[in-house]
Every structure is written in C-alpha cells, then in structure tokens.
Amino acid sequence: MDNYRHKGLRRRLINTLIEKGITQERILQVMNQIPRHLFLDSAFADQAYLDKALPIAKDQTISQPYTVAVQTQLIDPQTEDRILEIGTGSGYQAAILSQLCKKIYSIERHEQLYTNTTLLLKKLGYTKVITLLGDGYLGSPRHAPFDKILITAGADEIPSALLIQLKVNGKMVIPIGDGEVKVMKTITKISDTEYTEEVHGQFRFVPFLKGTT
C-alpha cells in the first residue's frame, strides 16, 4: 500500500512545502507520514505527490498539498483541541488534523463521498475522525463548542451558525470572497459578539454550498 517509492516522493513534496514557506515541523512530519495516494482514485496515484489539486468523486477535489499545509498551519491544531472540519472530501485533511489534535468532527454534504470516506478512514485506522453527513453551513450543534473550525471550500460569506459554535478564543480558518479565487482568512472569536480577522493570501477552492446531496 505504501512503498519506498511513495515515501521518497513524499519526502520530495515535503521539501517543496519547506521551500514555499511551511515552517511547522510537526505538520511537515505528519504530511510526510500520511500516504496521500491512498486518498485518491488509483488513476491519479502517479500524481499524488505533485503539489497540485486533483479530482475526486462528485466533482470535488483533494486540495493542493501546499493549501492543506497552509490551512493546517493557520488552524494551529493542539493536542487537546476538538476541531470541526467542513468538507470531508477524500479525508486527507481530516487524517492530517487527527494526528495533531484530540478529536476532529468532519462534515460532508455529498452522501457518496461521506460513505466512501468514512469506510476509508476506518480502514486506515484514523479513529479520531468522526464523519458526519450534513449541511456544513449549519455545523454540528450537538458536538459544539469547538476549539477550531476549518472550512475546506470557498465561501461567499461566513456562516453565523459556525461562529456561534466556536469557543471564545477559538479560531476559524475560511477561504472567502467573490469568484473562484478566495482570500484565506483567520477569524478569532474574542467574545460572544466580537471577532478579529487576519488575511493570508489567495487560493482556489471548490464552492462551499448549502444542503446535502
């Protein structure tokens, strides 16, 4: 499943991420350990360790490794954090976060992706990931509040339900804006009604849509 060739290609990818400015060693270590090719259709396995987004089912994508690393570095997962991820997709980002936090709840709106990825994560032993089928705009009130919330799809607005489910002093990372290119933002909740924002550059994402399919 994961051979010496894969490991060599991952090491090369990690060097690329370092050259692009990813500095947190613990994130680089986890990304060097996790076999990205297992989260892709076998037809794309040869491209798994290129620094680019690749297609998965339901017209979705597995994000570019650099984007995954940036979002992970921005969310800054800690060992006791309970994290909500919006957009499970192939499960790759959730698998990475699960090695860096206490528990991750991940919501997917496409039933086919939810079913397939739930089985894959279980098969690969990522037991800290709790997958949920639902509307990401609504979050998961029954599991809230969360220390961190990570949105892995491009939003037009910040969902108010997610802000409510974020703990005070908690952090949300969300790509937001008009058009295909989004601005990556970090939202920090400093009180029940007050937030601060930081901007971290532009990225491409599939759209953050309401409802389930």
Active site residues: 63
- The DSSP code for 202 is E
Tokens read off for 61: 């994508």
Q: How many CA atoms lie within 13 A of 22 on its CB side?
A: 25
Residue 129 near residue 121, CB atoms below 8 Å:
yes
- The DSSP code for 122 is H
Angstrom distance (rounded) from CA 119 to CA 116:
5
* Alpha helices (runs of H) in 137-198, residue ranges in sequence order: 160-165
Q: Which residues pair with 185 in a beta bridge?
A: 174, 199
Tokens read off for 124: 């690969």
Distant-in-sequence, close-in-space partners of 89: CB < 8 Å, separation ≥ 6: 56, 60, 61, 62, 63, 108, 113, 117, 152
Angstrom distance (rounded) from CA 151 to CA 144:
16
Tokens read off for 5: 């060739």
Angstrom distance (rounded) from CA 97 to CA 91:
10
